[in-house]
Amino acid sequence: MEKKDGAYKAHVLVLPFPLQGHINPMIQFAKRLASKGLKVTVPTTISATMSMHIGSGLVDVEPISDGQDSVSQNDNLAFLADGSGTLTKLVEKYEASSDPFCCLVYDSILPWALDVARQHGLYGVSFFTQSCAIDAIYYHANQGHLTLPLAAAAAISLPGLPELGISDMPSFISEPKSYPSILEIVLKQFSNLEKADLVLVNTFDKLEDEAVRWMEGIWPVLTIGPTLPSMYLDMLIEGDKSYSLNLSNPNSDLCKKWLDARQTASVVYVSFGSVANLEADQMEELAWGLKESNNNFLWVVRESEHSKLPSKFLEETIEKGLVVTWCPQLEVLAHQAVGCFLTHCGWNSTLEALSLGVPMVAMPQWTDQPTNAKYVEEVWGVGLRVKVGEKGVVRREEMEKCIREVMEGERGKAIRMNASKWRELAKDVLAEGGSSDKNIEEFVARATFFNASRSPPRAE
């Protein structure tokens, strides 16, 4: 987005971790900055560009090396551990041009990026793609305020959060030995955070008011969410209808045609994101629970998961259900036929449902999802969380009960009212003068000021 004289206010580098759940919210934020007069460059690893379909939109996309330049998952882990060399090369490339960066916004799980910013005299800004509640839990674990492993029956009280049980905690905290390397990564987000000039969080004030106030007491925090395409919220960025990255080509026409033929609020949309893998017995229970609920359903089942579907399930549900390998989730959630979202409660999916006013049935799997599910049911009142049975499996009767209650029951009425309320609040915060819009304007003002008064790199 250019000023009238052809110059940009400032040139900002926005560095996400190269997974879709991290890239999408940061690119949406980048689009907001570009719409307000900043030039924005988003570097993505070459392996990410090979495995995702990229549309640049308002921002420039700059491929950078991940050290391997292939599609192996190990490349992402290598970049996660230390991508400072390739980031330094990119910064120095632009330093030698007439269009240098003045600011680096980096994914919080890449704390080494702040060191690169400091070495080159850039304004350093950490971006948390998860909720304030999750930030608080990881921070307290990093500070030693939580003794791991947690006691099974412990009630956990942390500033700014509701009382939590062990089943409400992120899986890396409730089961610290299950993914010790990832636990180390999420705790390292705070290794140098006190040196950041600013901290951005993909949430909004009213959604997590107490947790936001707690964070503001420690770091210079700005909430800038929800990071959905503008046309689903405030409609201030013309043509911004989709994320810029997708793992595969969604079958938009098939899904839309099928949904158009269904009555209002009659469809259960089911998706567990791009990472979660359900065991075969859980897939079977979910399948028959959907069938027994007697509702229409649109279920996203990745190709690698299709073999886990029960025999004859597709044939027996052909009148009520549609199973696809991928779909345009935002378009689906915004469709009037959708009455409920059966979700793993990843943060991006949760924000999308909240922002589009869709009630949820929460079935968390791992990472931050149990905490998000706790908020969905007990804090925001926009859904029900399924109860897990023996051997960690949610039984079909529980699936059916929760789906029916949200779609048809008395609690479902209150849930739909709350979902509508949060939809309006999500729109308000990004509209002109809303809290998130004001915070984005503040970021633009800071970047512009810093660009106009560039100082040499600060000594550590």
pTM of the model: 0.94
The pLDDT assigned to 72 comes to 43
Residue 172 included in any domain: yes
Residue 355 in this model has a pLDDT that exceeds 60: yes
Residue 457 lies in a domain: no
Residue 298 to residues 31, 202, 228, 453, Cα–Cα distance (Å): 30, 28, 22, 53
Question: Is 1 inside any structural domain?
Answer: no
Burial state string for 144-154 with b = 16 or more CB within 10 A and e = fewer than 16: eebeeebeeee
Q: Are residues 285 and 208 in the same domain?
A: no
For residues 20 and 201, what is the distance between their CA atoms, to the nearest angstrom? 17
In a domain, 98, yes or no: yes
What is the per-residue pLDDT for 81? 74
Check whether residue 92 and residue 235 sit in a common domain: yes
Return the H-helix or E-strand segment holding 423: helix 410-430
**Predicted confidence (pLDDT) per residue in 66-110, tens digit:** 655 444 444 566 777 778 999 999 999 999 999 999 999 999 999
In a domain, residue 445? The reply is: yes
- Residue 75's φ and ψ, nearest 5 degrees, are -65, -45
The answer on 319 and 270 residing in a single domain is yes
- Do 159 and 266 share a domain, yes or no? no
Tell me: do 158 and 275 sit in the same domain.
no
Answer yes or no: do 448 and 412 share one domain. no
300: Cβ contacts below 8 Å, ≥ 6 apart: 270, 271, 272, 323, 324, 325, 326, 327, 329
**44 and 129 part of one domain:** yes
User: Domain holding 322: CATH number?
Assistant: 3.40.50.2000
Q: What is the mean pLDDT of residues 349-363?
A: 98
Average pLDDT over residues 345-369: 97
| 157 falls within a domain | yes
Query: Mean per-residue pLDDT for 229-240?
Result: 93
282 and 147 part of one domain: no
| Look-up of token digits 């990745």 | 302
On average, the pLDDT of the chain sits at 91
If asked whether residues 342 and 436 sit together in one domain, one would say no
Domain count, the chain: 2
3-state helix, strand, coil in the chain (%, to 5): 45, 15, 40
Each residue of 308-327: pLDDT tens digit?
A: 999 999 999 999 999 999 99
Query: What average pLDDT does the segment 281-307 reach?
Result: 96
Q: Which residues pair with 267 in a beta bridge?
A: 296, 338
The pLDDT tens digits for 159-204 are: 999 999 999 999 999 999 999 999 999 999 999 999 999 999 999 9
pLDDT of residue 49: 65
Tell me what the mean pLDDT of segment 452-459 comes to. 59
Q: Domain limits at 345? A: 248-425
| From 43-52, 353-362, 376-385, the region with the lowest mean pLDDT | 43-52
Domain-located, residue 5: no
How much of the chain, in percent, has pLDDT values that exceed 90?
Answer: 79
Which residues participate in catalysis according to the annotation?
Answer: 22, 107
Q: Are residues 136 and 259 in the same domain?
A: no
